[in-house]
Amino acid sequence: MNTSVAQPVKRFHPGFWTTVFGLVFIPFCIVTVLRFYKGLGAVTHLSDKFPWGLWIGFDLLCGVGLAAGAFTLTAVVHLFNLKKFEPIVRPTILTGFLGYIFVITALMFDLGQPWRIWHAIVYWNPHSVMFEVAWCVMLYTTILAVEFAPVVLERFGFQTPVRIIHALITPLVIVGVLLSTLHQSSLGSLYLIVPSKLHPLWYSQLLPLFFFISAIGAGIGMVILESYLSKRAFGRQLEMDLLEPLARAMVVALGIYGLLRLQAIGRNHAFSAITDFTYEGRMFLVEFVLGVLLPVVMLSFRRLRTNPRWLVTGSFLAVLGFVVNRLNVSITGMEGAAGVRYVPSLAEIIISVGLVGFGMVAFALAVRYLKIFPEHPAVTEGGPEGS
């Protein structure tokens, strides 16, 4: 069944994807030039009333969050010693690494003076969450690079550095998990400072915890999605025996998260926003029903969880809900206090979509030329439609 689906796809895709890539790439370049030549105001819908938009809400918050699969899985395999998950560690580390590169590149667009990004290293302000975020990005990207390095090194036959990294893997993973914990939660802490601005459906002193747990849920969702997508692209089998228990972990993470969120909303006396069906309430329902309730209920059933199609649907919903949550915190929840509606400009969307596209191309190339998936032979010339 799968092969019959894959056949027409194979014939159609190369031209299609090349066209898409071209369609995104050329505007991407134009926007980039305009952005740096004319300033942020010329290409974005950001303003004094709404200084943070899509590039923070999607690129930064979601980029980091969706890379959470990397630390979750390395912890599972190397710390909890569940070695059977080893085969999917490499693709998750790769996603994590690309995710962080994506975030850094997006920051290069969003910062007013990106060439000063190194200022965060020399001028310290430990009272600033943004300072913590900056250090976590830098350090964890480095850790991910080191964790991923063996894959590249072994391809070129350097054995000694690979052995050194293997010997150091436990401390590396521990530091990686520590940094990730700090980083995921600190993105939530960013919004602790705006109690008078962020809508009570989202504001809570527990924001750091919410961001952390939901990132684990969505990170696992990404692992499952990725396995599915690469299966489609490279004609591989879904590792159901690995993904099914991961789905259970996702259900638990999302379940705890959902309950905590409801408690926080209760404490803020904000349920009226939902029952009154306000703008914020509607956006919350989209986020919560799609991204928490549905996946938790669906994937609680063993019959659905063991069916690849439902498993992938559930994971997709969890990831989607996660993205909506981050956009709600950063955009929907802030619009009321700002007194303006923010809709990203086409240019902002082009940059975000373009960067995601580059990430996917990089992933596909890595899968083709490096040993990312265990049984997949590296380099199949004239291979399938990955890019």
What is the distance, to the nearest Å, from the Cα of residue 222 to the centroid of all Cα atoms in its chain?
Answer: 8
Q: With the CA atoms of 157, 159, 163 and 169 taken in that order, what torsion angle do they form, in degrees rounded to the nearest 10?
A: -20
Q: What angle do CA 184, 304, 386 make, to 5 degrees?
A: 60
Q: Which of residues 176-195 bind another protein (CB under 8 A)?
A: 177-178, 181-182, 189-190, 192-195
Segment lying near another protein (by CB under 8 A), choices 88-96, 160-168, 271-279, 298-306: 298-306
CB of 307 to another protein, least distance (A): 13
129 scored as a contact of another protein (CB under 8 A): yes
In angstroms, the CA 54 to CA 74 distance is 30
Nearer to another protein, 196 or 275 (CB): 196
Coil, helix or strand at residue 275: helix
Nearest to another protein of 127, 309 (CB atom)? 127
Q: What is the nearest approach in angstroms of another protein to the Cβ of residue 30? A: 16
Name the minimum Å distance from CB 137 to another protein: 11
Q: Which of 39, 161, 235, 266 binds another protein (CB under 8 A)?
A: 39
Q: Is 73 in the site for another protein (CB under 8 A)?
A: no
Nearer to another protein, 152 or 249 (CB): 249
Pick the closer one to another protein by CB: 137 or 367.
137
The CA–CA distances, whole Å, from 174 to 59, 168, 218, 368 equal 26, 10, 21, 30
Token pair, residue 123, equals 């001028």
3-state secondary structure of 277: coil
What residues contact 342, with CB distance under 8 A and at least 6 apart? 45, 46, 50, 53, 331, 335
Q: For residues 148 and 165, what is the distance between their CA atoms, to the nearest angstrom?
A: 10
For residues 260 and 298, the answer to whether their CB atoms sit within 8 Å is no
Q: Does 345 bind another protein (CB under 8 A)?
A: no
Q: Least Å distance between CB 199 and another protein?
A: 12
Radius of gyration for the alpha carbons in the chain, expressed in angstroms and rounded: 21
Binding characters for another protein, 211-230, by CB under 8 A (x = yes): --------------------
CB atoms within 10 A of CB 21: 17
Determine the interface stretch with another protein among 4-12, 71-79, 210-218, 227-235 (rule: CB under 8 A).
71-79
Distance, in Å, from the CA atom of 95 to the CA atom of 373, rounded to the nearest integer, reads 13
Supply the DSSP string of 63-86, one letter for each residue.
HHHHTHHHHHHHIIIIIS--GGGG
Q: Does 80 bind another protein (CB under 8 A)?
A: yes
Sole binder of another protein in the list 3, 37, 156, 381 (CB under 8 A): 37
Place of tokens 């069944």: 1
**Does the footprint of another protein cover residue 112 (CB under 8 A)?**
yes
Q: Helix axis angle, 169-189 relative to 159-167, nearest 10°?
A: 70
Contact between 130 and another protein (CB under 8 A)? yes
Binding test (CB under 8 A) with another protein, winner from 42, 167, 168, 346: 42
Residue 132 contacts another protein per CB under 8 A: yes
**Residue number, 191 or 228, with CB nearest to another protein:** 191
Q: Please identify, using beta-carbon distances, which residue of 126 and 382 lies nearer to another protein.
A: 126
Nearer to another protein, 81 or 160 (CB): 81
* Beta-sheet strands, E only, within the chain: none
- Residue 78 makes contact with another protein by CB under 8 A: yes
Rounded to an integer, what distance in angstroms lies between the CA atom of residue 336 and that of residue 338? 5
Residues at the interface with another protein (CB under 8 A): 36-42, 46-49, 51-52, 75, 78-82, 84, 110-114, 116-117, 119-120, 123-134, 170, 174, 177-178, 181-182, 189-190, 192-197, 205, 208, 241, 244-245, 248, 300-303, 334
